[in-house]
A and B are shown apart, each in its own frame.
Chain A
Amino acid sequence: DQQVKQNSPSLSVQEGRISILNCDYTNSMFDYFLWYKKYPAEGPTFLISISSIKDKNEDGRFTVFLNKSAKHLSLHIVPSQPGDSAVYFCAATSGRFGNEKLTFGTGTRLTIIP
């Protein structure tokens, strides 16, 4: 039972354009969401997060949007840069679980075309 879904396994975007990565979840108990970025041969690193009390969180070129009614979140990267090429994982958790049990999506491989 995949509670966090990233339906696009890969995405290619021209440098300078906007990259939009999508994530859907099914568990209504999730109230905290995170995006991780993973380069080859490295572990995932935290990128940005959002609490369910917000619908938007911005950090530089990265913005995460949360639509609770649709159980959908998205990560926007603008402008996209070659260094953004990586696999992006969406993850979700709940304060009720102690904020430690992350449920991950399958990841989206983003390729930025120079």
Chain B
Amino acid sequence: GAVVSQHPSWVICKSGTSVKIECRSLDFQATTMFWYRQFPKQSLMLMATSNEGSKATYEQGVEKDKFLINHASLTLSTLTVTSAHPEDSSFYICSARVPLAGINEKLFFGSGTQLSVL
């Protein structure tokens, strides 16, 4: 299957700093990528849809100025958590959709990033 690489796999940062997480599709071009967040004992929640060459679409309740998404190429989307605070500590995971596939079987996930903000 297709491969989605996400890094870093874990990061610890001080409160107030910014953290960038990268999501790359290694063997296909992804026009659309998705960013999810999972708090302990909760489900994966879609944060935003990242579209190559255009602005991301954020889900209700997700602050677009805090979670900056850039999808500058067909193989790379980045999520930057700006001015991180302890409540942003969570598991962040991306997925990418294989182009021209209309069914969800064509969604491939990265391995996730565990963010801990001190």
CB pair B43–A100 under 8 Å, yes or no, is no
Q: How many residues of A contact B (CB 8 A)?
A: 25
> 1/0 per residue A86-111: CB within 8 Å of B?
00010101000001111111110000
CB pair B109–A89 under 8 Å, yes or no, is no
CB pair A44–B104 under 8 Å, yes or no, is no
Q: Which residues 33-56 of A have a CB within 8 angstroms of B?
A: 34, 36, 41-46, 49
Q: How many residues of B contact A (CB 8 A)?
A: 27
CB proximity of B96 to chain A, nearest CB, Å: 10
B108 within 8 A of A: yes
Chain B residues close to A by CB (< 8 Å)? 1, 4, 6, 9, 32, 34, 36, 41-46, 49, 93, 95, 97, 102-105, 107-112
Q: A34-B104, A89-B44, A106-B41 are in contact. List 15 more A-B contacts (CB 8 A).
A: A4-B43, A9-B41, A32-B104, A36-B109, A43-B6, A43-B112, A44-B93, A45-B109, A91-B104, A100-B32, A100-B97, A100-B104, A104-B43, A104-B45, A106-B42
